[in-house]
Each structure stands twice: as structure tokens, then as C-alpha cells.
Structure 1
Amino acid sequence: MVQNEYDGLKLNQYLRSVVKFSSRFTQKVVRSGGVKVNNVNATLFTKLSAGDNIEVYIDKSEEQDIIPEKMELDIVYEDKDIIVVNKPAGIVVHPTKRYPQGTLANGLLYHFKQNGDNCIVRLVSRLDMDTSGLILVAKNAFSHMSLARDMNKEQFVKAYLAIVHGNLPQEKGVIDKPIYKPDDGSIKRIIDGRGQKSITHFNVVERFNNSDLVRLVLETGRTHQIRVHLSSMGTSIYGDSLYGKEEDEYINRQALHAYSLQILHPRSGELLKFQCELPDDMKELLRKLK
């Protein structure tokens, strides 16, 4: 219900400044007929009065050009707005020309359809194919907008565990180095002043003889950020063939795991925290190093 202080505002102003919808989402939901004021379809410029009742409809049938595939999913949490999945290493998150099927998105779409959810896969976070751990997916446009908006808030925290060669120079610190893509034909990134500002916070969880188990929290979310930053410190991740070297005798992928996620729920605003333990291949690597 519109409070007295917002009397006279236009609907688009109210949704953006009070409800905190993005401009894009506001336009999309209003123009699609998804907003009613006092049970009447509204326009972006509908003038509001104190006491008006605003209803926003976000549930609608959607289609996506992804083939649903039955897949065993490690679901950490799910409700009508979001789903959090623990992705194993070796699985691509979203279909590409090289991997049109067998991706996490294929499995999620099958899961949604089996449960009667009329939604598509809206990724809020992504992981490299050979990085394991928590991935956050929105189940409707409102949730995706809300989570994307909140990603820069201090309550939104993505934390990783990595096993690296060598010992970091400090127990804890910040890596603040710009990351740049030098060649459109390459997936590799480098540290370069022409790049985007990139900040990673780290603290050493456990030290070994010339190796560390490190916890990392991203302040920015650049492609390969953790891998590039750690490599630039002379502490490349075990098994990282792109920024270090292949080491099948230790592990057959980069020893990087997104183990913790903290978010504000897009609908309720409740602070939610999720964790998943290290996968077996990283546990085995730690046993070898000990």
C-alpha cells in the first residue's frame, strides 16, 4: 500500500526508488501488463495516491533454448525464487557451441520441468568447468534483478578454498591488481594496467611445506580472477593447466572450490548462508601434502 509520503509519485518512480526495482525490470514488468494499481492494469506513468494498492505479477510461463536432461543434482537449497547447487568439477555451467548438452543448465531445466516450475535458468553466479562448488540460480526475473542489484552489498559474500604451490607472503591480505584480456582469441587473462580493477581478499587456512590452503573472498567478479591473482603472487593453484601446469599425480583439475555463499533473499530480505564441504579430490590432495 502506498504511504502518504509517496502520494503523487508516478509508478515508475515508485518502483525504482521505493521498491528498488532496476529501471530495466520496471519497464519490462509494467509494459508486459504485470503491474496493477487498485486491480487495474497500470502504465509506467500512472500517478499514485496514498492508500493505493500495488500488485506485481512475476510468475509466468517461460521458455529457453536449452534441452532438458535428467541429471543428478546436489541441491543445497531451493524455494520458489532461487536454487543453490553444489556443482562438481568437470561440468560446464551453461551450453556453448562446444558443450551444447550435459551442462548444469540442462540438468536444472529438467529439474524445473519435473517439478512443474514454469521457469528458465537465470544464472546469478558462474564457475569454470573445472572449478567445483556453489552456484546460485534465480527462478524468475524479479529474483534475478534483485540478486544482481545486491551483489555489491557487503552482505553478498562468495568464498572459495584453493590449494596453492608455495606459501603466500602474509597470513592474510588483499590482492588488488587489474585483470586484462589481451587477445580476443584466447581465454587467458593477465595482470595489466589496461584491465579492469580486480580485488581478492585472502587468508591462509593452513600452511604446509611449500603449499597453502587458502580462503578467498571476491570483491569483484572478473573471469578467472582467483586463478590470475594467485598465479601473479607466485602461488599458482595445484592442477591449473592454464595459469600453472597439469599435475595429474596430485589432482586432475585446478584445486579451487566455491565452498561458501551468503546472500540476501530476493523476496524476504532474509540473510541466508550456505556451505558445502571440500570435494574428495581436494581432500586427497591435502592428505598428500600433509
Structure 2
Amino acid sequence: MSSKLNFLFEKDEEMPLKEYLKFHLKLSSRLIRGAIREDRIRVNGEIVKLSYKLKNGDSIDISIQKDEEQNIEPEKIDLDIVYEDEDIIVINKTYGMVVHPTKSYPNGTLANGLLYYFKSSGQNCIVRLVSRLDMDTSGLILVAKNQFAHMALARDMGEDSFKKWYLAVAHNKFTEKEGTINLPIYRTGGESIKRIVDHRGQESITHYKVIEEYTAGSLVQVLLETGRTHQIRVHLSRLGNPLYGDSLYGEEYDDDLLINRQALHAYKLSFPHPRTGEVISLECGLPEDIKKLIEELKKS
């Protein structure tokens, strides 16, 4: 793959460059403005203005590489890279790792490790997160390596071809073995990070299917239609099936001897590639702590 995008204009009628970029290529206004300002858009090898009228057979080149800095300290951290190309990288994040630096966690985050990896491998990239996971949720995280890839993935996130699946181990057996939870999620405010189901909240849709049942729990596959904070944890708790290890939404259970974090793993991801549009599907297996939890539940 190239650090440039190339398109051939094949229309009988002339069209302003800006209109073609925005409405036919679906590039964001921000990307277009920056690229034209920095002379990263050329037609037939020549620098042009956005008002330039494209003619049949014109070749448009857009450079998507640019020098960028990020106020994140690079740190050497072992990363489980599931997929990588010039536009994207997908990491299988371990539990206990924060995705991006905060006041409470300024170091040791996935972003710190990624920036070190980019620099040490000679890649001129900053960390552009497309998806996020809670600190104690493990699994696949998608990161864009350039502005174009980030824009395209963010734009396509609502498409049917962009899907995120999770595996969760929940308390109790489910009344319905398969279903959809459509309940709004609301942040109560103040210093609490806890969310609740409330009519004032944002629309939140979760599809679930029970994969295995145990005497005291269930292994559930979850597909998110929306991506609210704590969505799976809130919705399953509302059904009476809080996750094992979830002290925030399943505080009535003492699971410390079984698992020391919520039993939630983002195991599968599918999305259209930002450059080619080809749907990429990726998977990663369950981590050892969730496997051990399942074994214990099977014994009981």
C-alpha cells in the first residue's frame, strides 16, 4: 500500500474538486482543508485549488502522510498485534491496561506502548483510537495510523459491516436464551462513573445469545449495536445477569476467588478497510483468567 490515495475522475461532466472530494469520496471537511492547505492534493501532478473543475480522465493524488506529534511518552510495552498494515493496527489488549493516558494513569497505557512501537519501527504515526475498552475489559482494539483511515473508520462505524462481538461470563441462567436489550443508559452525574437504565439516557442496543449454561452462570456472546460506556455491564445486570467479577454492577456477589475483574472479552471485530472497502474480520481467543473461571463453573 502507498502513503498516497489515487483516484481517476471518470465523468463526462466537469465537477469542482471540492464537490468530488466531499460528496463522492466522502472525505471530511477537516481532512480536505488540511490537505489543500499543505499542498497534499494534486491533479495530474499539479497543485490546484478546490475550485478546480475536474475533467474526464483527471488523476487525483492525495498524500495522507504528514508530520505529527503527540503529547504521550513512548514506553516499551509488550503488545499483542493481531493485524497491521499501513493504515491500521489491531491490538489484543490485556485486562488491567488503560487505553489512553489520564491523570490517574499517565503511563503504562496502550497509547504509550503504541507510540513506542511506531517510533521504534520507523513509522511516522500518532495514536488515533477508533475503538476503546474499559481498563479491565480485554480484547480487540482498532487504531488508525493516519487521518484518512481514522476519518473513514469513524464514518463507517454505523454501517452494518462494522461489528463488535464480546464474550461474557454472567451470573445465573438467562430467562431468554437469545434476545435484544433496548434500554437507554444514563450517567447519574457527580463523581460516580456508574451508569443506570433511565429514560433520560442515550439509546443503547445490545444483542445477546447464550453459548453455554452452567449451574451458576452462563457464557454469552454479545453484539453491540451502539457503544455506550459500560453498556454490556449495565444491560446484563438489568436482566439479573451481572458479569462475574463486576464489583460495580454486581456488588451483591463476591467473586474475588474466581476472577479479579469483569469477565468480559472483545473477541471478534469486523469492519470495512478504510482504503479498499474490503471487510476484514478478526478474532482472538479467551484469556486464561476467563478460561479458568469457566472451568470452575463447569466443576460446580
Shift of 1:251: 0.2
Corresponding residue for 1:240? 246
C-alpha separation between the residues in 2 aligned to 1:108 and 1:55? 29
**CA offsets, 1:236-274, max 9 Å, x none?**
000011111352111000000000001111111111111
Corresponding residue for 2:10? 3
1:98 and 2:104 aligned: yes
Q: What are the residue-to-residue correspondences of 1:1-290 with 2, within 5 Å?
A: 1-5=8-12, 7-245=13-251, 247-290=255-298
C-alpha separation between the residues in 2 aligned to 1:21 and 1:84? 23
**CA offsets, 1:43-97, max 9 Å, x none?**
3322222221111000122110000000111000111100000000000000001
C-alpha separation between the residues in 2 aligned to 1:45 and 1:209? 68
The residue type paired with residue 257 of structure 2 is: E
Shift of 1:144: 0.3
C-alpha separation between the residues in 2 aligned to 1:200 and 1:101? 33
The CA RMSD over aligned residues, in Å, is: 1.2
C-alpha separation between the residues in 2 aligned to 1:268 and 1:11? 21
Contact 2:216 2:297 in 1 (8 A): no
C-alpha separation between the residues in 1 aligned to 2:48 and 2:248? 53
Contact 2:43 2:58 in 1 (8 A): yes
Q: Which moved more, 1:40-49 or 1:166-175?
A: 40-49
Shift of 1:32: 2.8
C-alpha separation between the residues in 2 aligned to 1:244 and 1:29? 49
C-alpha separation between the residues in 1 aligned to 2:88 and 2:121? 14
The residue type paired with residue 223 of structure 1 is: T
Q: Which moved more, 1:184-193 or 1:214-223?
A: 184-193
Contact 1:179 1:190 in 2 (8 A): yes
The residue type paired with residue 53 of structure 1 is: S
How many matched pairs? 289
Contact 1:112 1:118 in 2 (8 A): yes
Structure 1 gaps of 5+ residues are none
Q: Which moved more, 1:241-250 or 1:153-162?
A: 241-250
The residue type paired with residue 149 of structure 2 is: S
Relative to structure 1, is the Cα distance of residues 119 and 169 closer, same or farther in structure 2, using a 3 angstrom cutoff?
same
Identity of matched residues, %: 57
TM-score, normalised to structure 1, is 0.97
Shift of 1:223: 0.7
Contact 1:179 1:197 in 2 (8 A): yes
Q: Which moved more, 1:86-95 or 1:164-173?
A: 164-173
Contact 2:130 2:144 in 1 (8 A): yes
2:20 match: secondary structure? helix
Segments ≥4 residues shifted beyond 3 Å:
none
C-alpha separation between the residues in 2 aligned to 1:120 and 1:133? 21
TM-score, normalised to structure 2, is 0.94
C-alpha separation between the residues in 2 aligned to 1:275 and 1:25? 31
The residue type paired with residue 3 of structure 1 is: E
Structure 2 gaps of 5+ residues are 1-7
